[in-house]
Amino acid sequence: MRLIIAEDEVLLRAGLTRLLTDEGYDVVAAASTGTELVTATLALRPDLVITDIRMPPTHTREGIAAALRLRAEVPSLAVLLLSQHVDSAGATELLADGAQGVGYLLKQRIIDVDPFLQAVRAVLDGGTVVDASVVEGMMRRRRTDNPVDRLSPRRRETLALMAQDMSNARIAEELVVTEHAVARNISAIFETLDLPPSTTEHRRVLAVLAYLDRPGP
């Protein structure tokens, strides 16, 4: 798999490149700005872009802006965002643009190498991986009329784990319950969120989007 890494911190960029190269990935380019990322991605067409959200020159939304543009031009491109801070609006914007093959991790999570590599594989496989802290931050941006608020604490916890792209088996292990209990809770979540069975829409993705879709305060 071919990757591009966009990160303005030289040591972190070099560390990620070394780590992923050692894991067998082909890091075809490294960028330090959003403009460089867009140019390199459109020229080299990698499978995955790993990008910081805040990069020069303004250190605000260069990474997320580049990711949104690239997803619009290359819909099959997988994107994994890295950030030191929770940008709930930016994460929701990217997820709403198309949740498959999207991830959002806080940089401190990279210290835990195995979970980071699992996230890379999951996003490359078309999954959606959202850091638990990011989900927590998004929960604070609640709508008073959001049906998610009607879920029980255990079902909201289940939905938070769904947002981290966990399977039913992983959720059961995390919550120390049976897979049958997890399936029952997920069915109840779909019912509460008015998500009937559909052949054209992925209910898990729609449920996660409903969970994360909060306007600013």
Alpha-carbon Rg for the chain, nearest whole angstrom, is: 17
pLDDT at residue 135, as a whole number? 64
CATH architecture of 2-137: 3-Layer(aba) Sandwich (3.40)
Q: Give the residue from 98, 88, 83 showing the smallest Cα distance to 138.
A: 88
pLDDT at residue 127, as a whole number? 87
End-to-end, the C-alpha distance of the chain in Å comes to 40
SS3 (DSSP) at 200: coil
Please give the Cα distance from 103 to 124 (Å, whole number): 10
Provide the residue-wise pLDDT of the chain in tens; the chain has 217 residues: 999 999 999 999 999 999 999 999 999 999 999 999 999 999 999 999 999 988 888 888 889 889 989 998 998 999 999 988 776 666 667 776 556 798 888 888 778 899 899 999 999 999 888 877 666 655 555 444 567 878 888 998 898 888 887 889 999 999 999 999 999 999 999 988 888 876 555 788 778 777 776 443 3
Structure tokens at 204: 């898990």
Q: Where are the domains of the chain?
A: 2-137, 142-212
The region, left, alpha or beta by phi > 0 then psi within -120 to 50, assigned to residue 101 is: left
pLDDT at residue 21, as a whole number? 96
CATH architecture of 142-212: Orthogonal Bundle (1.10)
In order, the DSSP letters of 170-195 are HHHHHHTS-HHHHHHHHHHHHHHTT-
Structure tokens at 25: 């990935």
Bridge partners of residue 3, in order along the sequence? 27, 48
pLDDT at residue 166, as a whole number? 87
- Answer whether 2-137 and 142-212 agree in fold: no
